[in-house]
Chains A and B, each alone.
Chain A
Amino acid sequence: MSVSKYWREIPHRYRLEAGKCEKCGNIYFPKRLVCGECGNSKFKSIHLDRQGKLISYTVIHVAPSKFYSQAPYAVGVVELKDGVRLLAQIADCDLKKIKTGMPLRVEFRRVSEEGDAGIINYGYKCVPV
């Protein structure tokens, strides 16, 4: 991954920055230029609530090459307290004990590595509360 491609997503991935529509209040993660609900183009920058719950999940057994060493690992759709949904790995838990609806917290984590000499990709993962 090029440095610029990685760097420009840092506000989202490291700090959970999102855009809140100043007209209708809809929140977008990542930020957008126009609101799909009301058409407004003015947004306030906010930080997402890090608390949420699990909507659905899977355990990946056959992983993409960047994630080989992590398999099996869980990935889920998580709904945060402010209503925003994101997709993230569910870490630090027994894969057999994961349940839909369980409370989770978003944490800053190492996500993947680009081979022996490539950059380390950081971002967010979810952990049980």
Chain B
Amino acid sequence: MARDVAIIGVGLSKWGELWEQSLRDIYVEAALAAIKDAGVDKIDSMYVGNMSAGLFTGQEHLASLMADYLGVASIPSARVESACASGGLAVKMGYMEVALGMSDVVLVGGVEKMTDVGTDEATFALATAADQDYEVYQGITFPGLYAMMARAHMEKYGTTREQLAHVAVKNHEHGSMNPVAQYPQKITVENVINSVMIADPLRILDCSPITDGAAAIILCPVELAKKISKKPPVKIIGLGHATDSIALHSRKDLTSLPATAKAAKAAYKMAKVNIDKIDLVEVHDCFTIAEIIVIEELGIVKKGKGGSAAESGMTRLGGKIPVNTSGGLKSKGHPVGATGVAQVVEIVKQLRGEAGPRQVKNARIGMTQNMGGSGGSTVVHIMEVA
């Protein structure tokens, strides 16, 4: 019989271009913050979400390296990879470890150190999440893949250039209230639509940045959490995980993300909730169009209606269902392997009432959606105050 699983500690490193800190430094910084927040004196096992430390820093074998530098070498530790969904998948692995009774106290961390290489090498590393032989070979980039999704959405549903910009404007507005955000500057629609063109129709302010950063959470059984946790434990009540072709052109409809729809459906079923019961969501806004399609797939809006959500204020703080109160990948930053864990950190802070000026009032249930590549993998978690 599976055990119920709670999150009792969360922590983040600094986020940004952290030239003075190494891959291991930032991981340990986040892990120690989570351990301190949880108030635990030991961890039994660890999962490390990371997309591509090998290409970004030349370092592999992270599971053991991080255990060593955290001073817990000898515990079982595993590195988990699913491109930009590596962090979310690591949370799932940690959940399973606790639910199955393999460990009581599990640390799940996510980390990416992206600025030890130049932009060309970072672009190459990120592009390994796409089909190397049949997409990247032709000269496509990640902004380019999402740009084709954006154009298809605009032509099929009438989504406008300005509506894409509103997603970035909203997320920067949220990020301005998050002390960890890499780009906390508020921006305007004019800023976005006049920014440098990357892959038509997407411009630089439609894109999430390159970020160094780490995030960590501590998981344990709910029963144990009730005994040892000083803060309100947050229970993971729903989990969904799905895959799809990593090549965008292999999908029938460029305006949909079937893995996200499938993962969300599984998470809703497990949690026995529907979208109406959910107070806030952190989604994978690697590009503005991604947030628009994802909120459609999660059922927040009907198919094709995602374009107006940010503009109308529906997904803004104070709106019907706030999306990306942390600032999202767009403003907070996107250290790819850390993102899925950091999304969970934001939801836990919100559900505990610790989110400061960006606090969602009376938040009880929150959800995260973390996505790999152009939608080839998705992990969804639903959390509730235990």
Contact = CB atoms under 8 A, between A and B. Distances in A.
A114 to B, nearest CB: 12
B7 to A, nearest CB: 36
B164 to A, nearest CB: 13
Contacts of A43: none
A65 interface: yes
Contact of B254 (A9, A55, A63, A75): A55
A56 B149 contact: yes
Residue of B133, B137, B141, B247 with highest tally of chain A CB at under 10 A = B137
Interface stretch (B21-29, B87-95, B102-110, B119-127): B119-127
Interface of A: 9, 13, 30, 55-67, 70, 73, 75-78, 85-89, 100, 111-112, 121, 123
3 smallest CB-CB distances across A and B, nearest first, come from: A58-B147, A59-B200, A56-B148
B116 interface: no
26 contacts: A56-B151, A56-B155, A56-B254, A57-B151, A58-B143, A60-B144, A60-B199, A61-B197, A61-B198, A61-B199, A61-B200, A62-B196, A64-B120, A64-B123, A64-B127, A67-B139, A73-B139, A75-B144, A77-B254, A78-B249, A86-B134, A86-B249, A87-B249, A100-B151, A112-B137, A123-B138
Contacts of B248: 77, 87
Contacts of A111: 137-139
Contact of B133 (A9, A77, A89): A9
Interface in B333-375: none
A60 B143 CA distance: 9
B148 A63 contact: no
Chain A interface, DSSP helix/strand/loop, else mixed: strand
Contacts of A123: 137-138
A57 B148 contact: yes
B187 interface: no
Q: Categorize the interface residue count of chain B.
A: 20 to 34
Contacts of B135: 87
B301 interface: no
A108 B127 CA distance: 24
Contacts of A66: 139
Contacts of B141: 60, 62-64
Nearest to B203: A61
B142 to A, nearest CB: 10
Contact of A75 (B139, B149, B196, B197): B139
Contacts of A70: 139
Contacts of B120: 64-65
B152 interface: yes
Contacts of B139: 60, 63-64, 66-67, 70, 73, 75, 89, 111-112
Contact of A85 (B144, B147, B250): B250
Contacts of A64: 120, 123-124, 127, 136, 139, 141
